[in-house]
Structure formats: structure tokens, C-alpha cells
Amino acid sequence: MKVEDNNALRFILQDEIYLLNDDKTQYSAPTISTHVTETIPAISTPVIETPRPTFNYLGSNKKNFLVLVNYADQEFIKDDHLAALESVLSRLGHSREDIAILNLAKLDWADHGAILEHFTPKTMVILGQKARPSGMSNLKFNQVEKTGPINVLHTFAFDEMMTNVDNKKAFWEQMKNL
């Protein structure tokens, strides 16, 4: 078969072609141009960012002081418990503007990592066993511990302190160490 254009062979014959010795002298390999004459525009793919979780909390968190509570029947904390907490905090030189009170009863999806990322606390007080976020390691009860850059106190819930003077005293002694 005699073909005028050697490039046409690859469209006609889709199998491998073996050249005989006589044909090799007549065959010239197609040249591939390395010079690009037009610019191909880059395809941009949209960046999809995962939305950051939002937390509904009480206070302004000006001093990165996080208080974790668990009240299923309240938005944040019971009024009498809030008054007691503010009294303790004022003795330590803090106000409601300095802290953030986060009720974990309303946030079953929130884990320890998400809370730390959002609040970046320097001090964290966990009031009661139910207020300990998922993914957080066990802490010594009612003792201030340093967990990385954070001072953490896992202590009694206010329900346990309001009815027991010894629990109040133990709580106060540890709060003075923060």
C-alpha cells in the first residue's frame, strides 16, 4: 500500500506497523512541535471551605477564660449559679466580660478540639463530669493541671457545691490557683 502522507497511516491502520528494510528508507517520523503558539488559560477550581462551627456562649472571652457547664434546661447557666460564679470570679479580679460560659448540653456535636480551636483558652474550668467535652483526656478531679498552654480545672458542678460547704471550699481553694 502506498500512502502519500505517513501520518494518515495511524488513522487507517490501528494495529502496530512493522516496516520492511526497503520501506524504512522512505519513512520519516512525524515531527512534534515544541513551540506553543497560543496560551491555554488555567482552569480555576473553586475553593470550598468547611464552615467553622458557631458557639452560643455567655460573656466576651476577653481574657480567654472558658467555663464549661452542662444545663439541659437552660440556655447558659442557672441564675443563682451564675451569681455564685460571678462572685467567685470578681474575687479573682475577673468579670463576665473576661470569660466565656459555654453550655455543652446544647452542643452534642462539639468536641474538645473544636472548642479549643474556637476559644483558644488560657484557662478552662469544667464544672461537673457532664461538662467535660468529648475527646478530652481524663483529668485529676479538683486539681489545676497544665494541659499544654492551658490551665485546666475539672471540678464540682454548681449543683454539688450549692448543697455542700466542703465542696465550695475545695472549689475556692483550686480557683485561687488559676
Tell me the pLDDT of the chain (178 aa) as tens digits. Answer: 666 776 766 666 666 666 677 776 776 666 665 665 566 666 777 777 766 668 899 999 999 999 999 999 999 999 999 999 999 999 999 999 999 999 999 787 788 888 999 999 999 999 999 999 888 888 899 999 998 899 999 999 999 998 999 999 999 999 998 8
The full DSSP string for 70-136 is --TTSSS--HHHHHHHHHHHHHTT--GGGEEEEEGGG-TT-BHHHHHHHH--SEEEEESGGGSPBTP
Q: Is the pTM of this model over 0.75?
A: no
Domain ranges of the chain: 58-175
Can you identify the CATH homologous superfamily of domain 58-175?
Uracil-DNA glycosylase-like domain (3.40.470.10)
